[in-house]
Amino acid sequence: MRQSRTTKIARAGLIAALYAVLCLIFTSTSFGVIQFRPAEALTVLPILFPEAIGGIFAGVIIANMFGGLGLIDIVFGSLISLVAAYLTWRFRHSFIAYLSPIILNAVFVSLYLHSFFRYPYWLSVVSIGISETAVVLLLGYPLISYLKKNLH
């Protein structure tokens, strides 16, 4: 079934809004050197919806505007998420789709969080990697499985 451009734009907007709202609801765990961001479960949606790439990007921009880390987090956090979302879509038929947000966030978000918080870089990588893995595999993977079964 072919979907209209309007449907895809609306879906991207809903993903952006949901991502931002989830980050704001879980503000205490969504920002900082040690973080657990439930909204990251949505980062696997490009597996099914290419328009989710823009939705994730916009949602991260909005969320990071309220995160308190300033322009560096708004710009670089959003760009990291954009690349991860693209790679998720690009490798949507492979397990790499699930690994891209985990690895990119752990490695690259840790670079600037390390400088902000003076927290050891590798501890930040491990911390973000563990929380990202938990969210993507325990929430995101079941979300994709559910949507695959119920949307087609």
pLDDT tops 80 at residue 86 = yes
pLDDT tens digit string along 96-108? 999 999 999 999 9
Tell me what pLDDT residue 152 has: 64
pLDDT tops 80 at residue 2 = no
Distances (CA, A) of 83 to 7, 77, 142: 23, 10, 22
The maximal CA–CA distance of the chain, rounded, in angstroms, is 51
Q: Which of 100, 110, 30, 102 is nearest to 64 (CA)?
A: 30
| 40-65 average pLDDT score | 97
In terms of Cβ atoms closer than 10 Å to its own Cβ (0-12, 13-18, 19+), residue 17 is middle
Tell me what pLDDT residue 69 has: 86
- The CA distance from 7 to 63, in Å, is 23
Task: Please state, rounded to an integer, the average pLDDT across all residues of the chain.
Answer: 94
Tell me what pLDDT residue 35 has: 85
- The CA distance from 144 to 142, in Å, is 5
pLDDT tops 60 at residue 140 = yes
Could you give the domains of the chain?
5-151 (1.10.1760.20)
**pTM for the predicted model, two decimal places:** 0.92
Q: Which position has the higher pLDDT, 58 or 68?
A: 58
